[in-house]
């Protein structure tokens, strides 16, 4: 009996979930930590705002490239090995950042970090989707996504409160600690038995054959509509978060500690959104759940940007809409289960990894667009663009079939 056919969750299920979740926590921690170190890096390495935007953008581009590469490797070599490899790569990249001596060295090391960051998400999500029972897939896929706000909260604490004391180099050095999870994965984690069952069909293929199949007539449509959905979602996220700490501190006059607390509040909303999304998606379906959460995000983003002066008269409203911005982001918790329910095992990791991370890689232009808009208007207008994309998520999801109740083994 396959793990996803078991009626009761075992310790192997919880180990797969726990280590996939931990990998995603530190994945996002490494990615977001950089935004909290911007002022220190500018001072130490003599970097201007445009150069930092380029560095941030290239890091996001690297996540797209990493997701595509590791996605295909996950189908060929297995979920367990690739989960180890991705964590190792982003940990090494973060460690090397501590030794940056110039802008170009920093860009190189952030690029390495981005490669590992991009590969981890899809592998962890596929691991969960293939091993958990069909009726729990959406819930635990969304639970795994909750690692993102935890990672951001850690980055807020370390980057906003501890790094001013220990310095940016030491901050990057201590961030090598997540590599310990590799030891646990190697020792305790079982390979996906769905992958083992099907590996003879594709393990001897080269990875280019997997990409060719992904864009074949059979899967081209679902690949493209999934990519568009993910681009909308990623744009909503990164237009919101890439310059949010800077926006709160410089344009709204919040102190760094207050800014960090504001980010933590948003991430508490994120965590609540992710952990509830799976229950809503299982109850009313994937499509209506996406629409509800993305519309909440879109409305809330508009309130904390272009409507800030109106709600600032009632300070508690700012906190409410910051929390709801995070809560609405919970729709990201549905990507893993939705995409896993669309692709068969032989190209599942390739498909999900390519869709999610190609969309994330496209976001390399996001920091530069916000910087450009901010130079002529202010950052609030640049960040407010996210609201448009959030609404588009809630509309575009309706071109998909409803995948609630899909038996993942039947896709093969």
pTM of structure? 0.79
Which candidate, 63, 95, 83, 85, places its Cα nearest to that of 21?
A: 83
Q: Residue with structure tokens 């809503």?
A: 280
Retrieve residue 237's tokens: 């996220």
pLDDT of residue 57: 76
Question: DSSP letter string over 299-356?
Answer: HHHHHHTTTHHHHTTSHHHHHHHHHHHHHHGGGGGGHHHHHHTTS-HHHHHHHHHHHH
DSSP 8-state class, residue 412: -
In whole angstroms, what separates CA 1 from the centre of its chain? 32
Task: Give 341's contacts (C-beta < 8 A, 6+ positions apart).
Answer: 129, 137, 403, 406, 408, 411
Question: How high is the mean pLDDT in each 10-residue block of the chain (412 residues)?
Answer: 83 88 84 80 80 79 82 81 85 89 90 85 84 87 86 83 88 80 75 78 60 77 93 89 72 62 81 92 93 96 87 80 93 89 82 83 73 71 88 96 79 64
- Residue 335 and residue 126: Cα distance in Å, rounded? 11
pLDDT of residue 362: 80
**How many CB atoms lie under 10 A from the CB of residue 138?**
30
- Residue 252 and residue 381: Cα distance in Å, rounded? 13
Retrieve residue 179's tokens: 């590599």
Task: Give 35's contacts (C-beta < 8 A, 6+ positions apart).
Answer: 56, 155, 159, 241, 242, 243, 245, 246
Domains along the chain with CATH numbers: 10-186+207-404 (1.20.1250.20)
pLDDT of residue 256: 55
pLDDT of residue 392: 97
pLDDT of residue 259: 62
Which candidate, 183, 330, 223, places its Cα nearest to that of 269?
A: 330
Contact between residue 385 and residue 305 where contact means Cβ atoms under 8 Å apart: no
pLDDT of residue 269: 92
pLDDT of residue 412: 62
Retrieve residue 394's tokens: 């809630």
First to last CA, the chain: 16
**How many CB atoms lie under 10 A from the CB of residue 11?**
9
């Amino acid at each position: 009996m396959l793990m996803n056919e078991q009626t009761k969750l075992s310790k192997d299920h919880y180990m797969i979930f726990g280590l996939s979740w931990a990998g995603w926590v530190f994945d996002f921690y490494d990615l977001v930590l950089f935004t909290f170190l911007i002022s220190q890096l500018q001072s130490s390495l003599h970097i201007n705002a445009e150069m930092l935007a380029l560095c941030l953008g290239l890091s996001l581009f690297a996540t797209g490239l990493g997701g595509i590469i590791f996605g295909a490797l996950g189908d060929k070599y297995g979920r367990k090995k690739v989960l180890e490899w991705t964590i190792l790569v982003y940990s090494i990249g973060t460690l090397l950042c501590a030794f940056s001596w110039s802008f170009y060295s920093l860009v190189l090391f952030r690029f390495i970090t981005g490669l590992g960051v991009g590969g981890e998400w899809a592998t962890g999500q596929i691991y969960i989707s293939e091993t958990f029972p069909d009726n729990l897939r959406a819930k635990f896929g969304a639970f795994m996504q909750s690692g993102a706000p935890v990672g951001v909260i850690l980055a807020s604490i370390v980057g906003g409160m501890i790094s001013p004391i220990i310095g940016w180099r030491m901050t990057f050095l201590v961030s090598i600690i997540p590599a310990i999870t590799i030891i646990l994965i190697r020792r305790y984690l079982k390979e996906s038995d769905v992958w083992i069952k099907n590996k003879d069909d594709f393990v001897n293929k080269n990875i280019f054959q997997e990409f060719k199949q992904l864009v074949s007539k059979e899967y081209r449509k679902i690949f493209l509509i999934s990519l568009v959905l993910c681009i909308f979602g990623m744009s909503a996220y990164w237009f919101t978060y890439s310059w949010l700490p800077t926006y709160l501190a410089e344009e709204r006059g919040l102190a760094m500690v207050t800014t960090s607390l504001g980010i933590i509040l948003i991430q508490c909303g994120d965590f609540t959104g992710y952990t509830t999304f799976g229950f809503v998606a299982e109850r009313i379906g994937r499509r209506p759940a996406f629409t509800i959460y993305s519309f909440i995000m879109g409305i809330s983003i508009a309130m904390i940007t272009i409507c800030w002066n109106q709600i600032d008269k009632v300070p508690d409203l700012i906190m409410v809409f910051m929390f709801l911005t995070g809560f609405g982001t919970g729709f990201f918790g549905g990507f893993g289960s939705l995409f896993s329910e669309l692709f068969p095992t032989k190209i599942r990791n390739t498909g999900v990894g390519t869709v999610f991370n190609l969309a994330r890689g496209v976001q390399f232009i996001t920091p530069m667009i916000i910087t450009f808009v901010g130079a002529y208007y202010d950052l609030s207008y640049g960040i407010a663009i996210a609201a448009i994309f959030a609404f588009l998520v809630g509309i575009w999801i309706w071109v998909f079939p409803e995948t609630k109740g899909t038996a993942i083994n039947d896709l093969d």
